[in-house]
């Protein structure tokens, strides 16, 4: 007997899956057939998703809330769609996009073709958006650095005793490790402060 499965994905453990879960139940997916990953969509190396693929059989239906819940990489999402619909021969229903519904009994060959075509367009557009975002981020960081904006944690302030400890280290009376211990930092931080002092 054909089964209806649901797949839910949220990007982090802190994010809630409630909306997707409600949508699955409203569609008629039983809780025992719902698979959940709390993981990034950058690839398909996800535990629950892999388990779901092993369960899917011909004529089963996979329900997802939106296409980006399946994955965020254009080429990999298309490949997974092909595996599910062509190799496994299960149907896919994307709740937020009625055109992405490949249930054979309810759609003819033209409908399936349209679903595949719409998926390709949506996946391509989503990939382009991500590429543009990454490009804008890189350009923003480059422009900020050109303005002298510093990224990362601010450097530690040198303690008042630094000059005295530095003199002792320069005279060879103490090691860099001992100098760091006296200043309450590790020896690498002390050496970094020495390098900064030389530049000054």
A 10 A CB-CB count for 79 gives: 13
- pLDDT of the residue at 108: 59
- pLDDT of the residue at 109: 62
d(CA 94, CA 67): 6
The angle subtended at Cα 197 by Cα 191 and Cα 200, nearest 5°, is 150
Residue stretches of the chain with pLDDT short of 70: 104-112, 151-155, 197-200
What residue spans define the domains of the chain? Answer: 4-129, 162-199
- pLDDT of the residue at 123: 73
- pLDDT of the residue at 129: 74
- pLDDT of the residue at 198: 61
pLDDT, one tens digit per residue, over 161-171 is 888 888 888 88
pTM above 0.85, yes or no: no
pLDDT, one tens digit per residue, over 114-162 is 777 877 787 777 777 778 788 888 888 888 888 877 766 666 778 888 8
- pLDDT of the residue at 32: 96
SS3 track for the chain: CCCEEEEEEECCCCCCCHHHHHHHHHHCCCHHHEEEEECCCCCCCCHHHHHHHHHCCCCCEEEECCHHHHCCCHHHHHHHHHHHHHHCCCEEEECCCCCCECCCCCCCHHHHHHHHHHHHHHHHHHHHHHHHHHHHHHHHHHHHHHCCCCCCCCCCCCCCCHHHHHHHHHCCCCCHHHHHHHHCCCHHHHHHHHHHHHHC
- pLDDT of the residue at 183: 87
Architecture of domain 4-129: 3-Layer(aba) Sandwich (3.40)
- pLDDT of the residue at 118: 78
- Which residues have a catalytic role annotated? 11
Structure tokens at 20: 């997707």
- pLDDT of the residue at 159: 84
d(CA 102, CA 84): 11
């Amino acid at each position: 007997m054909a089964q209806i499965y649901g797949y839910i994905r949220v990007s982090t453990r802190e994010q809630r899956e409630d909306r997707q879960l409600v949508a699955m139940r409203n569609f008629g997916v039983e809780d025992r057939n719902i698979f959940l990953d709390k993981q990034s969509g950058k690839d398909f190396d996800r535990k629950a998703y892999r388990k779901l693929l092993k369960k899917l059989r011909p004529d089963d239906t996979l329900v997802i809330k939106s296409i980006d819940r399946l994955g965020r990489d254009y080429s990999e999402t298309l490949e997974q769609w092909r595996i599910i619909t062509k190799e496994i021969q299960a149907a896919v229903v994307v709740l937020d996009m009625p055109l992405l519904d490949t249930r054979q009994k309810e759609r003819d060959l033209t409908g399936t073709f349209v679903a595949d075509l719409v998926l390709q367009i949506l996946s391509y557009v989503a990939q382009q958006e991500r590429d543009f975002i990454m490009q804008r981020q890189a350009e923003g960081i480059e422009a900020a650095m050109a303005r002298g904006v510093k990224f990362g944690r601010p450097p530690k302030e040198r303690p008042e005793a630094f000059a005295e400890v530095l003199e002792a280290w320069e005279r060879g009376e103490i090691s860099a490790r001992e100098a760091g211990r006296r200043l309450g930092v590790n020896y690498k931080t002390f050496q970094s402060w020495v390098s900064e002092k030389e530049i000054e």
